[in-house]
Chain A
Amino acid sequence: MIEDLLTVIWKESKGLLRYSSSRWKAIATLLTPIAVFGVIFPIQFRNEWLTSGWSVAVSGITPLLLIASTISESFAGERERHTLETLLASRLPDRAILFGKLLTSILFGWGVTLFLLLVSLMMVNIMEWKGGFQIYQPTILWINISVSLLISGMVASLGILISLRSATVQSATQTIMLTLFMPFLLLQAVVFVLPTFLPKDTVRAFLDRMDLTKILYVLLGVLVVANIGLLLGAIACFQRARLILAD
């Protein structure tokens, strides 16, 4: 199983950023979040970057953006390019194909995010050198690593689930983006509408009472549950006969 998994990861990594129309577009896709979140943000936030929740937000957004833009290729891309049936006709087991694609996306999203966190750490130290190397606050570091991993897993599982059922890469990408960004839009609407129903002081008092660390732990719990649910859904949806007939 491990050998088969590595084979699929090898193949997926070969094509990960090559589906873009040009090599420069692929490089831009990779470098943009690193430049914005790894260089510009830490320059702006300086020391606060290592202790506040901003880096956690970036740890969530980065894998979400990276994986959401590439995961639709996993099955919808194979289907669109007529390579899926040949892949399914090979001796590779179902789980190796599914988890190989899933792991490649997770490692890509998580790996780039960890690299970005390292780059931002270097930037803060360059900008705010205090005679010794500063590091992330342990809780923030742990949450950064966990959030980026869990968001990577959640987006990859969701993306695979949608990609398995989509006829084209375009329709898969649209559905993934809509599904992922709908909660943010709803949250924005709530933030916009809430002050009209509740007095501002009540909202502010409620926010002041909130413990950021507790909120993040709740978020981690929600992400773990979402990961398990979506992964089980993807496993249930991966059926060779169904994939062949949808090809």
Chain B
Amino acid sequence: MTNYAICIENLTKDFKTVRAVDGISLEIPTGIIFGFLGPNGAGKTTTIRLLLGLLEPTSGQAKVLGFDTQIHSGYVRAQIGALLEHTGIYEQMSAEDNLEFYGRAFRMPTAERMARIQELLTHLGLWERRKERAGDWSRGMKQKLALARTLLHQPSLVLLDEPTAGLDVRSAVAIREDLKGLASRENVTVFLTTHNMEDAEKLCDQVAVIREGRLVVEGSPDDLRARAGGPRVEIIGRGFSEHALRLLQAHPQVGSLENTNNHLLIDLLTETDTAALVNILVGTGAQVEEVRRGKASLEEVFLSFTGE
């Protein structure tokens, strides 16, 4: 039997006249990194707040680690870690005091708390700077500190709301690597909201796309790519004539093709032997330099499902 970290059933949240979350149902197995993708204002943050029991749903229910988020909200919050839209770091306090406070808040015994703070800060490369005022740190370092705080009490589930938003490329890569490393090392289930497809592509085992509060699609990134579009072939070369393109278009496995500066992008209806396609081109006198098989990127999947 599959153990689910999160079970959401027909969850709906209305704010006056606006329906922020509209009948979402999801089952997220334990031990995976789950990406909740959607454009700004899609309902991602509201869903996280509902999962934390900070907001009451208009209808439906959510169970986190087997507990109803409304009936046992206190217990749910005690079991999970949350890195929300803002880092939540107390800038006037030192990095160590920030972790010390949340360690105490999660009632960690002193010795365990100290050891865990050292372990996490060392792993994230912040231990030597632990006495510094957190407000003097860069945004990337603060985000790392917030990540350490989220994992401090060794939660079995963490909720991360746009963890790389607003970070420069280097900091985003560092956070992504830290997150991936820590998630596998600590065997924690991660529920991650993002509109950054790189986060989803590199981190997530499963993703769901939300748009205007509704769940549009759900599955593994490969599954979604397959649903958004079939396999594709890229052919780079010279002398792709109109005649050659017409012959290719007539091939029964070719869905559509696009030629930009002798860079051919062919969407296939099913997996097919690319040699046949190359032969057609060569037969018309074209020169083929490179052939690449590929699939739609998650970004294309996202755009196709969100209609953007």
* A89/B54 contact (C-beta < 8 A), A10-B101, A11-B101, A81-B91 known: yes
A91 touching B106 by the CB < 8 A rule?
A: yes
B102 at interface by CB-CB < 8 Å: yes
A82 touching B88 by the CB < 8 A rule?
A: yes
* A85/B88 contact (C-beta < 8 A), A90-B77, A91-B106 known: yes
What mask results when residues 205 to 239 of chain B are scored 1 for a CB within 8 Å of chain A, else 0?
00000000000000000000000000000000000
B49 CB contacts on chain A under 8 angstroms: 244
A83 at interface by CB-CB < 8 Å: yes
Complex CA gap A126/B284 in Å reads: 111
Complex CA gap A18/B133 in Å reads: 11
* A10/B104 contact (C-beta < 8 A), A82-B88, A86-B88, A89-B84 known: yes
Complex CA gap A88/B86 in Å reads: 13
A91 touching B105 by the CB < 8 A rule?
A: yes
B107 CB contacts on chain A under 8 angstroms: 3, 91
Q: Taking the nearest CB of chain B, how far is it from the CB of A72, in angstroms?
A: 15
User: Using a Cβ–Cβ cut-off of 8 Å, how many residues does chain A contribute to the interface with B?
Assistant: 25
What mask results when residues 74 to 100 of chain A are scored 1 for a CB within 8 Å of chain B, else 0?
000000011101111111110000000
B92 at interface by CB-CB < 8 Å: yes
B105 touching A7 by the CB < 8 A rule?
A: yes
Chain B interface, DSSP helix/strand/loop, else mixed: loop
* A88/B74 contact (C-beta < 8 A), A10-B104, A83-B89 known: no
* A91/B74 contact (C-beta < 8 A), A15-B90, A244-B55 known: yes
Among B15, B82, B93, the residue within 8 A (CB) of A89 is B82
What mask results when residues 212 to 247 of chain A are scored 1 for a CB within 8 Å of chain B, else 0?
000000000000000000000000000011001100
A87 touching B54 by the CB < 8 A rule?
A: no
A204 CB contacts on chain B under 8 angstroms: none
Q: Taking the nearest CB of chain A, how far is it from the CB of B234, in angstroms?
A: 44
User: Using a Cβ–Cβ cut-off of 8 Å, how many residues does chain B contribute to the interface with A?
Assistant: 28
A85 touching B86 by the CB < 8 A rule?
A: yes
Chain A interface, DSSP helix/strand/loop, else mixed: helix
Q: Taking the nearest CB of chain B, how far is it from the CB of A79, in angstroms?
A: 11
* Identity of the chain A residue whose Cβ is nearest the Cβ of B153 in the assembled complex: A91
What mask results when residues 32 to 72 of chain B are scored 1 for a CB within 8 Å of chain A, else 0?
00000000000000000100101110000000000000000
Among A18, A83, A90, the residue within 8 A (CB) of B105 is A90
A244 touching B54 by the CB < 8 A rule?
A: yes
B82 touching A91 by the CB < 8 A rule?
A: no
A244 CB contacts on chain B under 8 angstroms: 49, 54-55
B85 at interface by CB-CB < 8 Å: yes
Q: Taking the nearest CB of chain A, how far is it from the CB of B228, in angstroms?
A: 34
What mask results when residues 7 to 25 of chain A are scored 1 for a CB within 8 Å of chain B, else 0?
1001100110011000000
Among A14, A87, A245, the residue within 8 A (CB) of B93 is A14
Q: Taking the nearest CB of chain B, how far is it from the CB of A29, in angstroms?
A: 15
B52 CB contacts on chain A under 8 angstroms: 89
Complex CA gap A82/B89 in Å reads: 8
Complex CA gap A150/B56 in Å reads: 37
A91 touching B78 by the CB < 8 A rule?
A: yes
Complex CA gap A235/B89 in Å reads: 26
Q: Taking the nearest CB of chain A, how far is it from the CB of B147, in angstroms?
A: 12
* Identity of the chain B residue whose Cβ is nearest the Cβ of A90 in the assembled complex: B105
* A85/B101 contact (C-beta < 8 A), A15-B93, A91-B78, A241-B55 known: no
B299 at interface by CB-CB < 8 Å: no
Complex CA gap A203/B23 in Å reads: 72
* Identity of the chain B residue whose Cβ is nearest the Cβ of A84 in the assembled complex: B88
A3 CB contacts on chain B under 8 angstroms: 107
A87 CB contacts on chain B under 8 angstroms: 88
Known A-B contacts: A10-B104, A83-B90, A89-B84. Give 15 more (CB < 8 A).
A10-B101, A11-B93, A14-B93, A18-B93, A19-B92, A83-B86, A85-B86, A89-B52, A90-B105, A91-B78, A91-B107, A92-B105, A93-B74, A241-B55, A244-B55
User: What are 27 inter-chain pairs, A to B, with CB distance below 8 A?
Assistant: A3-B107, A7-B101, A7-B104, A10-B104, A14-B93, A14-B97, A14-B101, A15-B92, A19-B92, A82-B85, A83-B86, A83-B88, A85-B54, A85-B85, A85-B88, A86-B84, A86-B86, A89-B82, A90-B77, A91-B106, A91-B107, A93-B74, A240-B54, A241-B54, A241-B55, A244-B49, A244-B55
Nearest 4 A/B pairs, CB to CB: A86-B88, A82-B86, A91-B78, A7-B104
